[in-house]
């Protein structure tokens, strides 16, 4: 299975672009991109750097424009269900984190599990009305922390300690 994934990505993109695009995909984010970089033979520092940049790229757009996008999507029958699903997901996550502080948001983004990354953290911060600068800084801290954890696990450095 790993060989099939490696072959697909190496035949389609250079390894760096594969890691970059993978890190931009919701739910997968850098939690999947860094291990992909490891499998593709990239050095740890390259996988980490590319994945962090790719994972952070959508965050400011989500923080600034997601509510406008959902409002626009709700006007069309074809995209209404997707917009309502996204809003419900953000509401459920934000209800659990109403007292979300800078460190709470950063910790939420840093947890290396699906559904807790930059995309969801930015979405929750937006719906909670957290100011852009505070939210963006928390997302950056969370993504870097998650990147360090995933890199240590993926490249086996964690086994040294």
Per residue in 13-58, pLDDT (tens digit) is 899 999 999 999 988 999 999 999 999 999 999 999 999 999 999 9
List, for residues 104-144, the tens digit of each pLDDT value. 899 999 998 877 899 989 988 887 888 899 999 999 999 99
Which band of pLDDT confidence, cut at 50, 70 and 90, is reported for residue 90?
low
Q: Is the pTM for the entire model greater than 0.85? A: no
Per-residue tokens: 10: 């190496």
What are the backbone dihedrals phi and psi of residue 158, each rounded to the nearest 5 degrees, phi first? -60, -30
* 79 or 92, which is more confident: 79
* 87 or 145, which is more confident: 145
Which band of pLDDT confidence, cut at 50, 70 and 90, is reported for residue 161?
very low
Mean pLDDT, to the nearest integer, of 46-74?
A: 89
Taking each helix axis from N to C end, the angle separating 132-154 and 59-73, rounded to the nearest 10 degrees, works out to: 110
* 19 or 6, which is more confident: 19
Taking each helix axis from N to C end, the angle separating 77-96 and 59-73, rounded to the nearest 10 degrees, works out to: 130
Give the pLDDT score at 70. 72
Q: Give the 3-state DSSP-derived string for 73-122, with helices as H, strands as E and coil as C.
A: HCCCHHHHHHHHHHHHHHHHHHHHCCCCCHHHHHHHHHCCCCCCCHHHHH
Which band of pLDDT confidence, cut at 50, 70 and 90, is reported for residue 77?
confident
């Amino acid at each position: 299975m790993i060989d099939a994934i490696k072959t697909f990505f190496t035949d389609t993109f250079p390894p760096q672009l594969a890691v970059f695009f993978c890190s931009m995909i919701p739910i997968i984010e850098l939690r999947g991109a860094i291990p992909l970089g490891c499998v593709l033979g990239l050095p740890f520092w390259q996988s980490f750097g590319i994945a962090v940049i790719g994972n952070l790229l959508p965050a400011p757009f989500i923080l600034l424009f997601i509510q406008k996008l959902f409002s626009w999507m709700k006007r069309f029958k074809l995209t209404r269900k997707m917009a309502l699903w996204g809003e419900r997901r953000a509401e459920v996550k934000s209800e659990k984190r109403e007292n979300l502080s800078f460190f709470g948001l950063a910790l939420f983004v840093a947890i290396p599990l699906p559904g807790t990354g930059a995309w969801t953290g930015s979405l929750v911060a937006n719906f909670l009305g957290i100011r852009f600068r505070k939210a963006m800084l928390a997302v950056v801290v969370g993504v870097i922390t998650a990147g360090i954890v995933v890199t240590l696990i993926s490249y086996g450095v964690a086994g040294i300690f």
